[in-house]
Structure 1
Amino acid sequence: MRSVKRIGYLVVALLVVIGIGFGIHSLTGGTASGSKTIVVGSQGSDYDIWQHIAKTSQAKKLGLKISVKQIADGVQLNKATTDGTVDVNAFQSWSYLQAYNKENKSGQLRALGTTYLEPLGIYSNKYKKVSDIPDGTTVAIANNPANTSRDLLLLQSAGLIKLKAGFNALSDTGDIASNPHHLKFKLIDDTTGPRVLKSVPVVLISNTVALEGHLNVLKDSIFHEKVNDSTKDNINVLATVKKEENNSQYKKLVKLYHEPAIQKYIKNQYDGTKVEVDKPLSYLK
């Protein structure tokens, strides 16, 4: 009788162990980490791109399940990544990420890999080339730190101003060393560029905003960024929280973005204005 009871106890114990194992399996979605749905936070045209990517056969081949969440404000998108509302975000440049980390010590983010350079352009309805811009012209530039500095760097590349040594992502018009053409600077909300172009002779507009205003930076700007050492801070990255920077599943998103079929789609959809940059993170540092 005692033996029968002992066997009964063993059976119950085995069932409990199996039950616990099954519960853990169910909670984790299986033993493979790849079964977890990765939430990618994005905005604007990048949101549209990642919605497309999430449905592709290339994502399926890499074992990636992707859900895309739209958050229109960049700071809020980074904070959503910090608090775990999204796992990875796809919207910001390397310089924007550095500026954000500098201002948010308790919510540090890390880049997973590079994606593209979306060239910033100098636009004008009045002048056909940079050399046509007369002294004293008003130039509209972005009023947020990361984009203000980027705008000024492009004006320097165009030969219109010279910046002080040590100019960085948080620098502004106070860091202009020389303004030989006596340009006047008008700070604007950088999402309003195409509208401002109707009233200001020269406006710097990011490509995301330009596309929304039916402008093509490669065709419609009078000067724009190229992929080189001077623009590497402006290369866009995928970003996540510091503790997940080596997450192998998240890293697969970088590989996925650079799949030839996906790049072909992006090039066709955006007229080549999202210039692919497939570089190691060491290139940015």
Structure 2
Amino acid sequence: MRTTSILIGAAALTLAVAACGAPSEQAAEPAEGGQAPLRIGVNPVPHGDVLAFIDENLAEEAGLDLDIVEIADYNTPNAQLVDGDLDANYFQHRSFLNEWSENGPEADLTYITDVHIERLGLYSEGVESAEDLPEGAEIAVPNDPANLNRALGILETEGLITVDPEAGETATEKDITDNPNDLTITPLEAAQLPRSITDVDAAVVNGNYAIEADLTEESNLLAWEPEGDDYVEKYANGLVALDENVDDERIRLLADLLHDERVLEYIQQTWQGVVLAVDAEGRPVE
């Protein structure tokens, strides 16, 4: 049976820990003759949907019991993994994990396998193409470092700005060296971007939030982010666990199921290009 919990933000996390006790006190007991459920933290879309598909169609036959914990923000899943409240999480790409590890608590987290890519897109309600953006237009972008750099890459590819190449993957709006149309680049929390689209001329939105807000159906897509040779390595979302748990049989089993042909087909049919499945060889499936 699938168990889904929803935790939103640090306040909810604090209350949950206070109410339920230490991680060792809340560890799930294995069913008689079986393994303990694998407690895994995910963002609701598309990660939670992918795991729900596995739970409903593949897990029982494989002998895997999933306890899916839906978390709406980007920082709580790693914090809970470090604290022992989760066995694994599935919501982030390597660039985000590296950035979090450099600035977060000391913890040894391992990226186990790629699952999918959520493409960043430049969306607008009032403009139909990137070249139609007016002089002085305001463009909202994600404020977390890994995705901010990706957003600037879209704008640069469209010829709207030039970014100092010396800034590398940590480029911010301060590294823009040429801005011929005097665009205003406004970093916002990624989850707020869909709501901001009516207040700005355009916004670069993460794929999961674009799906949740129906931007792919209701807004104009001006541009996808460019796909370089290292696109999967940098930006595929994947399964993550503590170093000490990478050989956990349940985690390895889930990694295999995430690359099952039925899962790849489900991702393709459900999100049709906004989310790209990644196969077991690390290749995007389009």
- Give the deviation of 1:127 after TM superposition: 2.2
Local SS of the residue matching 2:69: strand
Q: How big is the shift at 1:93?
A: 1.8
| Counterpart in the other structure of 2:188 | 188
* Alpha-carbon spacing, 1:176–1:260, altered in 2? closer, same or farther (3 Å): same
Q: Which residue of 1 aligns with 2:41?
A: 41
The match for 1:12 is none
User: SS state of the match for residue 146, structure 2?
Assistant: helix
Q: What corresponds to 1:95 in structure 2?
A: 95
My pick for the range that moved more, 230-239 or 161-170, is 161-170
> CA-to-partner distance for each residue in 1:58-87, whole Å, 9 max, x for gaps?
323433221111222221110111122111
Q: 2:153, 2:225 within 8 Å by CA — same for their partners in 1?
A: no
Determine the C-alpha separation between the residues in 2 that align with 1:210 and 1:67: 26
Structure 2: which amino acid aligns with 1:91? F
Which residue of structure 2 aligns with residue 206 of structure 1?
A: 206
Q: What does residue 9 of structure 1 align with?
A: none
Deviating above 6 A after TM superposition, structure 1's stretches of 4 or more consecutive aligned residues are 27-31
Which residue does 1:130 correspond to in 2?
Answer: 130
**Counterpart for residue 215 of structure 1:** 215
Match for residue 79 of structure 1? 79
Partner of 1:10: none
**Cα distance between partner residues in 2 of 1:187 and 1:172:** 9
Distance in 2 between the 1:70 and 1:262 partners? 19
Question: Aligned partner of 2:260: which letter?
Answer: E
Over the residues paired in the alignment, what is the CA RMSD in angstroms?
Answer: 2.8
Deviation digits for residues 132-159 of structure 1 (CA, Å, limit 9, x no counterpart): 2233221111222232222112222222
CA drift of 1:219 comes to 8.4
DSSP 3-state at the match of 1:74: coil
Consecutive unaligned residues in structure 1, runs of 5 or more: 1-26
* Residue number in structure 1 paired with 2:56: 55
Q: 168-177 vs 146-155, which deviates more? A: 168-177
Q: Distance in 2 between matches of 1:275 and 1:167?
A: 28
Contact 2:138–2:202 at 8 Å: present in 1 too? yes
| TM-score normalised per structure 2 | 0.78
1:278 matches 2:279 = yes
Decide whether aligned partners of structure 1 residues 68 and 30 sit closer, same or farther in structure 2, where only a CA change above 3 A counts.
same
Q: Distance in 2 between matches of 1:248 and 1:101?
A: 25
Is the CA contact 1:217–1:273 (under 8 Å) kept in the aligned structure 2? no
Q: What's 1:267 paired with?
A: 268
* Aligned partner letter, 1:213: A
Deviates more, 1:110-119 or 1:234-243: 234-243
Contact 1:193 1:204 (C-alpha < 8 Å) held by counterparts? yes
- CA displacement, residues 32-64 of structure 1 (integer Å, 9 cap, x when unaligned): xx82321111122122321231222x3234332
**3-state SS in 1 of match to 2:63:** coil
TM-score, normalised with respect to structure 1: 0.78
Question: Per the alignment, do residues 280 and 100 of structure 1 end up closer, same or farther by CA in structure 2, a change over 3 Å counting?
Answer: farther
Query: Whose Rg is larger?
Result: 1
| Counterpart position of 1:179 | 179
Going by fraction, where is helix more abundant, 1 or 2? 1
Task: Structure 2: state its 5+ residue gaps.
Answer: 1-28
Equivalent residue pairs, number: 254
Give yes or no for the alignment of 1:152 onto 2:160.
no
Task: Please state how far the C-alpha of 1:167 moved relative to its aligned partner.
Answer: 3.2
